Structure 1
Protein backbone atom coordinates (compact mmCIF):
# COMPACT_ATOMS: atom_id res chain seq x y z
CA UNK A 1 0.00 0.00 0.00
CA UNK A 2 1.16 3.47 -0.70
CA UNK A 3 -0.79 6.42 0.51
CA UNK A 4 -1.64 9.98 -0.42
CA UNK A 5 1.09 12.60 0.09
CA UNK A 6 0.57 12.67 3.87
CA UNK A 7 0.51 8.88 4.04
CA UNK A 8 3.71 8.47 2.07
CA UNK A 9 5.54 10.46 4.73
CA UNK A 10 3.94 8.24 7.34
CA UNK A 11 5.28 5.10 5.65
CA UNK A 12 8.77 6.65 5.51
CA UNK A 13 8.54 7.43 9.24
CA UNK A 14 7.41 3.86 9.99
CA UNK A 15 10.27 2.49 7.83
CA UNK A 16 12.78 4.53 9.85
CA UNK A 17 11.44 3.12 13.11
CA UNK A 18 11.37 -0.46 11.83
CA UNK A 19 14.91 -0.12 10.43
CA UNK A 20 15.98 0.95 13.94
CA UNK A 21 14.67 -2.35 15.34
CA UNK A 22 11.13 -1.48 16.45
CA UNK A 23 7.89 -3.38 15.85
CA UNK A 24 5.39 -0.78 14.66
CA UNK A 25 1.59 -0.88 14.51
CA UNK A 26 -0.10 1.48 12.07
CA UNK A 27 -3.08 1.84 9.74
CA UNK A 28 -2.02 2.25 6.10
CA UNK A 29 -4.48 3.61 3.55
CA UNK A 30 -5.07 2.51 -0.01
CA UNK A 31 -6.60 -0.37 -1.94
CA UNK A 32 -3.60 -1.94 -3.67
CA UNK A 33 -3.39 -4.82 -1.19
CA UNK A 34 -7.10 -5.74 -0.94
CA UNK A 35 -8.21 -8.34 0.12
CA UNK A 36 -5.02 -9.14 2.10
CA UNK A 37 -5.02 -5.71 3.75
CA UNK A 38 -7.92 -3.30 3.54
CA UNK A 39 -7.50 0.45 3.88
CA UNK A 40 -7.10 1.53 7.53
CA UNK A 41 -6.73 -2.00 8.94
CA UNK A 42 -4.16 -2.13 11.71
CA UNK A 43 -0.97 -3.92 10.70
CA UNK A 44 2.11 -4.79 12.71
CA UNK A 45 5.47 -4.69 10.95
CA UNK A 46 8.65 -6.12 12.50
CA UNK A 47 12.28 -5.91 11.37
CA UNK A 48 13.08 -8.71 8.94
CA UNK A 49 15.96 -10.93 7.87
CA UNK A 50 15.71 -10.28 4.08
CA UNK A 51 17.58 -13.46 3.19
CA UNK A 52 14.65 -15.45 4.63
CA UNK A 53 11.94 -13.76 2.53
CA UNK A 54 9.72 -15.80 0.24
CA UNK A 55 7.21 -15.03 -2.47
CA UNK A 56 3.94 -13.95 -0.84
CA UNK A 57 5.47 -12.22 2.18
CA UNK A 58 4.17 -8.69 2.81
CA UNK A 59 7.04 -6.28 3.41
CA UNK A 60 7.69 -2.63 4.17
CA UNK A 61 10.17 -1.71 1.48
CA UNK A 62 11.57 1.13 -0.60
CA UNK A 63 11.55 0.69 -4.39
CA UNK A 64 12.84 3.46 -6.67
CA UNK A 65 12.49 6.07 -3.92
CA UNK A 66 8.95 5.16 -2.80
CA UNK A 67 8.08 3.25 0.36
CA UNK A 68 5.42 0.54 0.04
CA UNK A 69 3.72 -2.12 2.13
CA UNK A 70 3.50 -4.67 -0.68
CA UNK A 71 4.08 -8.30 -1.64
CA UNK A 72 7.32 -10.06 -2.43
CA UNK A 73 6.52 -11.38 -5.92
CA UNK A 74 9.92 -12.93 -6.71
CA UNK A 75 13.20 -13.53 -4.90
CA UNK A 76 16.80 -13.44 -6.11
CA UNK A 77 18.80 -14.15 -2.98
CA UNK A 78 21.97 -14.81 -5.00
CA UNK A 79 21.95 -11.10 -5.87
CA UNK A 80 20.41 -10.02 -2.52
CA UNK A 81 17.23 -8.58 -4.00
CA UNK A 82 13.46 -9.08 -4.14
CA UNK A 83 10.77 -8.06 -6.61
CA UNK A 84 7.87 -6.10 -5.13
CA UNK A 85 4.27 -5.99 -6.40
CA UNK A 86 0.87 -4.94 -5.17
CA UNK A 87 -1.97 -7.46 -4.84
CA UNK A 88 -3.50 -6.40 -8.15
CA UNK A 89 -0.67 -7.53 -10.43
CA UNK A 90 1.30 -4.27 -10.71
CA UNK A 91 5.04 -4.84 -10.33
CA UNK A 92 6.85 -2.01 -8.55
CA UNK A 93 10.31 -3.38 -9.37
CA UNK A 94 13.35 -5.02 -7.84
CA UNK A 95 15.05 -3.71 -4.73
CA UNK A 96 18.04 -4.77 -2.66
CA UNK A 97 17.81 -6.48 0.70
CA UNK A 98 19.11 -3.29 2.37
CA UNK A 99 15.89 -1.49 1.38
CA UNK A 100 13.59 -4.14 2.88
CA UNK A 101 12.81 -2.72 6.32
CA UNK A 102 10.26 -5.10 7.77
CA UNK A 103 7.72 -7.86 7.37
CA UNK A 104 4.01 -7.66 8.16
CA UNK A 105 3.49 -10.09 11.03
CA UNK A 106 -0.12 -9.21 11.96
CA UNK A 107 -3.24 -7.77 10.34
CA UNK A 108 -5.95 -6.63 12.76
CA UNK A 109 -4.30 -8.67 15.53
CA UNK A 110 -4.25 -11.90 13.50
CA UNK A 111 -0.78 -13.35 12.98
CA UNK A 112 0.37 -13.96 9.40
CA UNK A 113 1.48 -17.56 8.99
CA UNK A 114 5.12 -18.18 8.20
CA UNK A 115 6.49 -14.83 9.34
CA UNK A 116 7.94 -15.31 12.80
CA UNK A 117 11.02 -17.19 11.64
CA UNK A 118 11.81 -14.24 9.40
CA UNK A 119 11.83 -11.54 12.09
CA UNK A 120 15.28 -10.09 12.73
CA UNK A 121 16.87 -11.22 15.98
CA UNK A 122 17.02 -8.62 18.70
CA UNK A 123 14.02 -6.64 17.44
CA UNK A 124 11.82 -5.16 20.11
Structure 2
Protein backbone atom coordinates (compact mmCIF):
# COMPACT_ATOMS: atom_id res chain seq x y z
CA UNK A 1 0.00 0.00 0.00
CA UNK A 2 2.76 2.48 0.86
CA UNK A 3 4.39 1.97 -2.54
CA UNK A 4 1.13 2.92 -4.29
CA UNK A 5 0.80 6.00 -2.09
CA UNK A 6 4.40 6.98 -2.93
CA UNK A 7 3.62 6.63 -6.64
CA UNK A 8 0.55 8.86 -6.31
CA UNK A 9 2.57 11.49 -4.45
CA UNK A 10 5.29 11.32 -7.10
CA UNK A 11 2.56 11.99 -9.68
CA UNK A 12 1.62 15.18 -7.80
CA UNK A 13 -1.43 13.98 -5.85
CA UNK A 14 -2.19 14.77 -2.21
CA UNK A 15 -3.18 11.51 -0.51
CA UNK A 16 -5.11 10.69 2.68
CA UNK A 17 -4.81 7.24 4.25
CA UNK A 18 -4.83 5.41 7.59
CA UNK A 19 -1.42 3.88 8.40
CA UNK A 20 -1.16 1.09 10.96
CA UNK A 21 1.43 0.58 13.66
CA UNK A 22 2.62 2.23 16.85
CA UNK A 23 6.08 3.53 15.97
CA UNK A 24 4.88 7.12 15.59
CA UNK A 25 2.75 7.35 18.76
CA UNK A 26 1.80 9.92 20.03
CA UNK A 27 2.29 11.96 16.84
CA UNK A 28 0.30 9.48 14.77
CA UNK A 29 -1.70 6.63 16.27
CA UNK A 30 -2.57 3.49 14.35
CA UNK A 31 -5.43 4.08 11.86
CA UNK A 32 -5.54 7.86 12.28
CA UNK A 33 -6.27 9.65 9.03
CA UNK A 34 -3.13 11.32 7.70
CA UNK A 35 -2.88 13.64 4.73
CA UNK A 36 0.41 13.66 2.84
CA UNK A 37 1.21 16.16 0.09
CA UNK A 38 4.04 16.23 -2.44
CA UNK A 39 6.82 18.43 -1.11
CA UNK A 40 10.09 20.16 -1.81
CA UNK A 41 12.53 17.81 -0.01
CA UNK A 42 15.08 20.61 0.31
CA UNK A 43 12.60 22.45 2.57
CA UNK A 44 12.11 19.52 4.96
CA UNK A 45 13.32 20.08 8.53
CA UNK A 46 14.02 17.96 11.59
CA UNK A 47 10.66 17.15 13.21
CA UNK A 48 8.72 16.97 9.94
CA UNK A 49 6.93 13.73 9.11
CA UNK A 50 7.59 12.51 5.57
CA UNK A 51 6.79 9.56 3.37
CA UNK A 52 10.16 8.34 2.10
CA UNK A 53 11.90 5.25 0.72
CA UNK A 54 14.79 4.05 2.88
CA UNK A 55 16.72 0.83 2.18
CA UNK A 56 13.98 -0.43 -0.15
CA UNK A 57 11.03 0.19 2.21
CA UNK A 58 8.60 3.11 2.21
CA UNK A 59 8.03 4.69 5.63
CA UNK A 60 5.90 7.47 7.07
CA UNK A 61 8.34 8.67 9.73
CA UNK A 62 10.09 11.58 11.35
CA UNK A 63 12.96 13.47 9.85
CA UNK A 64 15.64 13.19 12.55
CA UNK A 65 18.51 14.88 10.69
CA UNK A 66 19.08 16.87 7.50
CA UNK A 67 22.27 16.92 5.43
CA UNK A 68 21.76 19.75 2.94
CA UNK A 69 25.26 19.42 1.50
CA UNK A 70 24.56 15.84 0.38
CA UNK A 71 20.86 16.39 -0.39
CA UNK A 72 19.58 13.79 2.06
CA UNK A 73 17.52 13.30 5.21
CA UNK A 74 17.64 10.73 8.01
CA UNK A 75 14.37 8.99 8.79
CA UNK A 76 13.50 7.69 12.28
CA UNK A 77 10.43 6.56 14.14
CA UNK A 78 9.11 8.39 17.19
CA UNK A 79 10.72 5.91 19.58
CA UNK A 80 14.35 6.56 18.73
CA UNK A 81 14.92 3.90 16.05
CA UNK A 82 16.79 5.24 13.03
CA UNK A 83 15.69 3.76 9.69
CA UNK A 84 18.52 5.38 7.75
CA UNK A 85 19.49 8.11 5.32
CA UNK A 86 17.76 8.70 2.02
CA UNK A 87 18.32 11.22 -0.73
CA UNK A 88 15.87 13.96 -1.65
CA UNK A 89 14.64 12.03 -4.72
CA UNK A 90 13.18 9.39 -2.38
CA UNK A 91 11.23 11.83 -0.22
CA UNK A 92 7.76 11.61 -1.74
CA UNK A 93 5.71 13.84 0.52
CA UNK A 94 5.20 15.61 3.81
CA UNK A 95 2.43 14.93 6.33
CA UNK A 96 0.35 18.09 6.40
CA UNK A 97 -2.49 16.89 8.67
CA UNK A 98 -3.44 14.17 11.15
CA UNK A 99 -7.17 13.59 11.64
CA UNK A 100 -7.80 16.92 9.95
CA UNK A 101 -5.50 18.83 12.32
CA UNK A 102 -2.73 20.67 10.45
CA UNK A 103 0.84 19.66 11.29
CA UNK A 104 3.07 22.53 12.47
CA UNK A 105 5.66 24.13 10.20
CA UNK A 106 4.42 22.61 6.94
CA UNK A 107 3.46 25.89 5.27
CA UNK A 108 5.47 26.41 2.10
CA UNK A 109 6.84 22.85 2.06
CA UNK A 110 3.99 21.18 0.16
CA UNK A 111 3.91 21.67 -3.60
Task: Please tell me the TM-score bracket, short chain as reference.
Answer: over 0.9
Aligned to 1:118, the other structure's residue is in SS state coil
Count of matched residue pairs:
111
**Which one of the candidate residues 37, 42, 46 is aligned to 2:37?**
46
Residue equivalent to 1:22: 13
Q: Could you state the TM-score of these two structures normalised by the residue count of structure 1?
A: 0.88
Of 50, 63, 74, the match for 1:83: 74
Deviation readout 1:62-112 (Å, 9 max, x if unpaired): 000000000000000110000000000000000000000000000000001
Match of 1:105 in 2: 96
Contiguous gaps of at least 5 residues in structure 1: 1-9
Computed over aligned residues only, the root mean square deviation of the Cα atoms, in angstroms, reads: 0.5
4+ aligned runs moved over 3 Å, structure 1: none
Long gaps (5+) in structure 2: none
**Larger relative helix fraction:** 1
Normalised by the length of structure 2, the TM-score is 0.99
